[in-house]
Each structure stands twice: as structure tokens, then as C-alpha cells.
């Protein structure tokens, strides 16, 4: 059976949805807004989990209705712990960059996709070189209304893919 690690936000309540949708041996790591810090100690735990449980895929998941993300997108910053303050700061920066090419009313999916893409790149840069070719890392957004998981496509939203002639 395929073994899968999901990074989720506890406010989304997605664990049972993932379990009923993806019939694999699922493991979960929870942090508010997927704001987990990939410091040395955390990476030791993640690498150990990958090795001992033979994890073959890692997925970051956030709901399109994630309360923390919506608050950050609407500049409702709260005083919180370091990782959450960094989360709010990251969303604010992604919003600024994304608003250059997208209408303000359409910012949620592009900003969410770019944020999750950055989380993927952060984890990829920290994961043990023993696992980098063995573990697939991706991200999904859960659409609550349609009850479906969608892969992110950050290349559709990133400025680095646009040509300014």
C-alpha cells in the first residue's frame, strides 16, 4: 500500500476527507496555515518518518475556505507565534506580487497556489538527499463547495513565467 504524508491545517478539518478520498496509508502533520518551520529538529523528524514508514509522497493541503489564509489575504493580521506571523507576512507579500498580474477579486487561488509552491520548494531544499529522488512532493487545494482536491499549478500564476515585451 502506498504511504503518504500530508501537511494540513487543523482549522480545515480535512483529515477525514483525505482518508475517505485517498485510500492509502496516510500520515498527517498539522500546523496552522501550513506554517510549519522546517528547522533542523523538524527535518530530522520528517526524514525519520520518511525512512521508517517508507513514505513515497508528501502533499501540502489547504482548503479554499481556510480561515487563516482568508484573514491574511484581507490583511487581518493577528499577533501570534513566530511561524504564524511569518505566514501572514508571506501571504501579504504573495498578494502584492500576484496583484501585478491578477485582478484583486481573483487573488485567492493564485496567492494560495504560490504560497503552497513556496512550501514545496522549502521542504525540497531541506529533505535528506537520500530521499529527494524517492519522494514526490506536491500540493493540493480542497474546494469545499465542489468537494474535490485540485493540484496547484503555480506556473500559471507566477511572474517568473510571464514575458513583459
| Res. 147: pLDDT tops 90 | yes
Report the pLDDT value the prediction gives residue 35, as an integer from 0 to 100: 85
Report the pLDDT value the prediction gives residue 164, as an integer from 0 to 100: 46
Report the pLDDT value the prediction gives residue 162, as an integer from 0 to 100: 43
More confident residue, 21 or 108: 21
Long-range contacts of 6-11 (CB under 8 A, 24+ apart): 6/58, 6/59, 6/60, 6/61, 7/31, 7/34, 7/36, 7/58, 7/59, 7/60, 7/61, 7/119, 8/34, 8/61, 8/62, 9/33, 9/34, 9/62, 9/63, 9/66, 9/68, 11/66, 11/67, 11/68
| Res. 146: pLDDT tops 80 | yes
* Mean pLDDT in residue range 15-22: 98
In this structure, what C-alpha cell is assigned to residue 124? 525540497
Q: How confident is the model at residue 25 (pLDDT cuts 50, 70, 90)?
A: very high
Q: How confident is the model at residue 157 (pLDDT cuts 50, 70, 90)?
A: very low
Report the pLDDT value the prediction gives residue 75, as an integer from 0 to 100: 65
CATH number of the 3-161 domain: 3.40.1050.10
DSSP conformation class of 85: H
- Beta partners for 119? none
Rounded Cα distance between 150 and 152, Å, is 6
Question: pLDDT (tens digit, 9 = 90+) per residue, 32-69?
Answer: 888 899 999 999 999 999 999 999 999 999 999 988 87
Domain ranges for the chain: 3-161
Report the pLDDT value the prediction gives residue 94, as an integer from 0 to 100: 61
Question: pLDDT (tens digit, 9 = 90+) per residue, 95-130?
Answer: 565 555 545 546 677 778 888 998 999 999 988 777
Amino acid at each position: 500500500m502506498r504511504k503518504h504524508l500530508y501537511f494540513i491545517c487543523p482549522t480545515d478539518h480535512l483529515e477525514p476527507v483525505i482518508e475517505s478520498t485517498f485510500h492509502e496509508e496516510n500520515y498527517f502533520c498539522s500546523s496552522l496555515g501550513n506554517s510549519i518551520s522546517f528547522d533542523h529538529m523538524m527535518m530530522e523528524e520528517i526524514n525519520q518518518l520518511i525512512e521508517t514508514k517508507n513514505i513515497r509522497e508528501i502533499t501540502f493541503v489547504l482548503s479554499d475556505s481556510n480561515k487563516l489564509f482568508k484573514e491574511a489575504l484581507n490583511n487581518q493580521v493577528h499577533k501570534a507565534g513566530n511561524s504564524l506571523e511569518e505566514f501572514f507576512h508571506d501571504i501579504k507579500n504573495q498578494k502584492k506580487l500576484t496583484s501585478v498580474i491578477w485582478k484583486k477579486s481573483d487573488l485567492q487561488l493564485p496567492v494560495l497556489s504560490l504560497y503552497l509552491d513556496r512550501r514545496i520548494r522549502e521542504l525540497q531544499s531541506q529533505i535528506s538527499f537520500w530521499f529527494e529522488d524517492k519522494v514526490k512532493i506536491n500540493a493540493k487545494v480542497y474546494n469545499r463547495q465542489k468537494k474535490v482536491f485540485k493540484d496547484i499549478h503555480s506556473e500559471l500564476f507566477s511572474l517568473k513565467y510571464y514575458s513583459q515585451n
